[in-house]
């Protein structure tokens, strides 16, 4: 007869064995391998790969197109960042006395669950230069002079793509903020109202501090998402014209699978991981250290 302690240990070991093994094999090992490969010149096919030290890192830093792509990532990041206060405001709106609030909540979140490839093609049609729907809307509003080559003009294409990203993900942020707002205790808000606080004051001094956890999460998610933008430019413009709408991840993936340089691509992948951490830390410092001064 096994003791209870032994049975317990057996259970834990056997039950965790498969998920942990899968995690190690398919997540941890590739993660570590990325770092190892960044020091080699593997091409993805041959059995042999040569250790080439820091050569990949040097050529990565010298690659102008890659860092131009990063500039495009910054556009997604900033466009989304500017939208976050709007999303927050909209969540406050949905949380207030509003008729059909449930319906609006359903609608605002819907873009998030829609097939990304399908909607990317839909927007390609929307912004099409020949008889496109967006151009038709502008004409109907007598704003024809504003018509541009939305997806092929290097000066504005990234902003157009970033707005597609906004369409897809703003609703997700709104719903997260709404959930955070709804977890704020009612009695505190009511006491403040009785004491004469107006909507803006309640927002600033009661609601915002309570939802900072969620705001932090959304801010982190923005950093992570912006540095990994891939499918929208991949489907809509393939990073073109040239590299005008390319992103860091798109360039990295092409380096591996199109140009068969897995070593160099791994170096770029390592760079992405480092950048996510760096940008997040800097952002956290700015927001909590300088602006809010509430560093814990």
How many C-beta atoms surround the C-beta of residue 80 within 10 A?
24
Minimum distance, C-beta of residue 285 to other proteins, in the bound complex (Å):
19
Cis peptide bond prior to 241, omega within 30° of 0: yes
* 106 near other proteins, judged by CB under 8 A: yes
* 233 near other proteins, judged by CB under 8 A: no
What are φ and ψ of residue 229, in 5° steps?
A: -55, 125
Question: How far separated are the first and last CA of the chain, in Å rounded?
Answer: 52
One of 143, 191, 213, 282 touching other proteins (CB under 8 A): 213
Q: How many CA atoms lie within 13 A of 108 on its CB side?
A: 22
**Coil vs helix vs strand at 149:** coil
Q: How far apart are alpha carbons 139 and 30 in whole angstroms?
A: 51
* 179 near other proteins, judged by CB under 8 A: yes
In contact, 151 and 237? CB cutoff 8 Å:
yes
Footprint of other proteins on 13-52 (CB under 8 A): 15-16, 18-20, 22-31, 33-34, 37, 44
Q: How far, rounded to the nearest angstrom, does the alpha carbon of residue 146 sit from its chain's CA centroid?
A: 29
* 11 near other proteins, judged by CB under 8 A: yes
Footprint of other proteins on 270-289 (CB under 8 A): 272-273, 276
One of 119, 184, 192, 212 touching other proteins (CB under 8 A): 119
One of 224, 238, 285, 294 touching other proteins (CB under 8 A): 224
* 60 near other proteins, judged by CB under 8 A: no
* Choices 69-77, 186-194, 202-210, 256-264; region in contact with other proteins by CB under 8 A: 256-264
Which C-beta is closer to other proteins: that of 206 or that of 218?
Answer: 218
């Amino acid at each position: 007869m096994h003791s209870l302690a032994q049975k317990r240990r057996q259970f834990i070991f056997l039950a965790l064995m498969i998920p942990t093994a899968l995690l190690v094999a398919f997540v941890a090992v590739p993660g570590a391998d990325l770092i190892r490969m960044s020091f080699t010149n593997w091409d993805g096919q041959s059995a042999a790969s040569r250790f080439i030290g820091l050569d990949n890192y040097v050529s990565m830093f010298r690659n102008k197109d890659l860092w131009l792509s990063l500039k495009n990532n910054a556009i997604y990041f900033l466009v989304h960042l500017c939208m976050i206060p709007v999303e927050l405001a909209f969540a406050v709106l949905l949380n207030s006395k509003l008729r059909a609030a449930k319906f609006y909540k359903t609608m605002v979140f819907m873009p998030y669950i829609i097939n990304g490839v399908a909607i990317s093609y839909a927007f390609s049609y929307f912004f099409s230069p020949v008889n496109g729907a967006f151009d038709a809307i502008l004409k109907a509003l007598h704003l024809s002079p504003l018509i541009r080559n939305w997806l092929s003009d290097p000066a504005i294409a990234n902003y157009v793509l970033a707005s597609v990203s906004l369409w897809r993900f703003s609703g997700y942020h709104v719903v997260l903020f709404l959930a955070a707002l709804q977890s704020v205790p009612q009695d505190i808000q009511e006491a403040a109202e009785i004491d004469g606080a107006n909507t803006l004051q309640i927002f600033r001094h009661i609601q915002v501090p309570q939802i900072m956890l969620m705001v932090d999460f959304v801010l982190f998610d923005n950093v992570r998402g912006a540095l990994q933008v891939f499918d929208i430019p991949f489907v809509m413009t393939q990073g073109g014209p040239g590299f005008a709408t390319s992103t860091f991840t798109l360039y990295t993936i092409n380096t591996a699978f199109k140009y068969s340089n897995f070593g160099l691509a791994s170096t770029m992948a390592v760079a992405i991981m480092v950048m996510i951490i760096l940008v997040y830390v800097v952002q956290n410092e700015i927001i909590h250290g300088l602006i809010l001064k509430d560093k814990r």
